Amino acid sequence: MLVLATFLVALAGLSEAAPQSAHKVREAVHTPRDWIKLGAAPAEHVIPLRIALPQSNFDALERHLYEISDPEHARYGQHLSKEEVEELVAPHPHSLNAVNEWLAEHGIPESDCTRSPAQDWVTVRIPVSKAEAILDTKFHMWKHVVDDDVVLRTTSYSLPEHMHEHIEFVQPTTMFSRIKNHRTTFRWSEDQAISTESDGSTISLDYGEVDTSCNKTITLSCLKQLYNAVGYKASAKHGNEIGLTGYLEQNANLHDLQLFYQDQRPEAVNSTLKVTLINGGVNSQNTSEIGAEANLDVQFAAGQAYPAPATFWSTGGSPPYKADANTPSDSNEPYTEWLDYVLAQWKLPQTISTSYGDDEQTVPEAYAKRACAGFAQLGARGVSLMFSSGDAGVGDGDSDPTTQTCFTNDGRNVTRFIPSFPASCPYVTTVGGTYLVPEVAVPFSAGGFSNYFSRPHYQDFAVEEYLRKLPKGTYKGLYNPKGRAFPDVSAQGVNFRIFYKGRAGLIDGTSASSPAFAGIVSLLNDARLSHGLPPLGFLNPLLYSRGVHGFNDITKGNNPGCGTEGFNATVGWDPVTGLGTPNFGKLKEIVLSHYW
């Protein structure tokens, strides 16, 4: 009996000492294209690990989002509160407890954890050596062969098998995405095309006249003429606001903004811009640190929306950067950093524009879907989110459209069209580009079909109609016809007159299209709020139904890339210009219809 008792005690001890389950790979990626491994990461380097817990009731949040965004539904416009959204995405208590216990087992107390408002994200800052131990992996330094960016990453990591149901993913680990402002092109005012002087001649459109100077230079006045907003007077009395996001140490210069107002919006001179810094964001007003991208976004979006107050968020800690192996970048997840901040706020601008993104395939799918779910939370709270579609046609954003190889990075090296993210997220409104008067699709306007997100139901009719008209077999195997299609809409994207470092210049890109469209949306929100109606919130279900009649259909142009001519603009929706460009007058009538 004594021997048996001793055996049982020993067995119990072994059971207590044994792990609950062995490690199992949670995420793995192929060696990323254009990255080379430099060597082992420094063990003492501190890395911020962000742990994503499953959002227990996201399906219900999505259902709410579609109901309150559908103009045919009785709940249209009944947006959710901050607390209601957080309750729907909060992780299950079992997951919270399991993650807390797992971290405690590795000597990481609750006091060292930072949590998102809904507690669906946990962030811990730990040395690489500890991260390697808890993730059963090895971190290395990686350098991008084109830009020499250096990051600290791994190509796979593992978790105890019993933790897989409680942790969706951990980043930055396998993320080799490099968020970029879309490929804007800037030219100084010495270019003769900058002239905004009119000779008095106009171009006749169905809804009015557009000055011929708008064929060479786009100003606020041109956008009003092109998009039928001449004469509309916005108000500052009803709480309408607009927001712009900035990453990669892009600063909006306040002096340049005043010069822009003097040039194009005199009544806005001396108005203020609220700048909010997130996660080490910067707001340097030094001439050498001004960002043309940030100036573009702020000048045109805030200029159109005036007198609505404008906010510029500068989010830091995001980019891989030129560094050596001892000072790597260890974070490039700006969307979640920004989302953590804005979702914690009680009051948000009703309209927000972002002009940044990357190739969808460079973003781990789990991360892309989680960031997209964050955008859905904002939509449920009544925020309209615009993202530029990108500037590479149907190709990747790292090379000239005429020379793109467009290979997949899943180990197969298959030629495919390369969709953009976050443009491919179904919970945002993606904006492509046009140019000239009358408008045609600009060749760089990115568009296509997601490989991560399935087509949302609000797109079914429009996209199926487009695919039905596409000649059979066109680009077969190069795109996913069942994927979320983009862009949704478009706006001018060439020859925008901005001020940069005290001088006027011209800038191109869908980075211009997104704030241009956002400015129109802000005016629509102004109109609704002035009539006692709620803001528009998530736009797409409205745009693809009643809203389709409020767009100028763009039927000429294409978006080449990957050695092809890309897709063509055509009657109805197309993956170059979406539904078309906005007609503010018609859209205002639609959003103010009496039966709403």
pLDDT for 260-279, tens place per residue?
999 999 999 999 999 999 98
**Structure tokens belonging to residue 48:** 């911020």
Q: Give the mean pLDDT of 568-591.
A: 98
**Is the confidence at residue 327, as pLDDT, over 50?**
no
Active site residue 241: no
What residues are paired with 23 via a beta bridge? 160
Rounded distance, CA 431 to CA 201, Å?
A: 30
Which one is catalytic: 86, 293, 333, 396? 293
**Is the confidence at residue 17, as pLDDT, over 70?**
no
What CATH superfamily classification does 186-591 receive? Peptidase S8/S53 domain (3.40.50.200)
292-296, 350-354, 536-540: range with lowest mean pLDDT: 292-296
Cα distances (angstroms) measured from residue 158 to each of 28, 45, 134, 138, 168: 9, 20, 8, 11, 12
**Is the confidence at residue 592, as pLDDT, over 90?**
yes
**Is the confidence at residue 258, as pLDDT, over 90?**
yes
Torsional class of 411: left (φ above 0), alpha (ψ -120 to 50), beta (otherwise)? left
Q: Which residues contact 67 (CB under 8 A, 6 or more apart)?
A: 73, 75, 76
Active site residue 293: yes
**Is the confidence at residue 67, as pLDDT, over 90?**
yes
pLDDT score at 323: 41
**Structure tokens belonging to residue 443:** 């060749």
Percent of the chain at pLDDT exceeding 70: 88
Q: Give the mean pLDDT of 281-300.
A: 85
**Is the confidence at residue 291, as pLDDT, over 50?**
yes
Full-model pTM: 0.92
Output the average pLDDT for the chain.
89
Which one is catalytic: 56, 95, 384, 511? 511
pLDDT score at 33: 81
Which one is catalytic: 241, 256, 297, 439? 297
Q: Give the mean pLDDT of 100-104.
A: 96
Confidence of residue 200 (pLDDT cuts 50, 70, 90): confident
Strands (E), 483-575: 483-486, 489-492, 496-500, 503-508, 551-552
Strands (E), 81-173: 114-115, 121-127, 140-144, 149-153, 156-160, 169-171
Cα distances (angstroms) measured from residue 137 to each of 28, 49, 140, 300, 333: 11, 14, 10, 46, 20
Active site residue 511: yes
pLDDT score at 285: 84
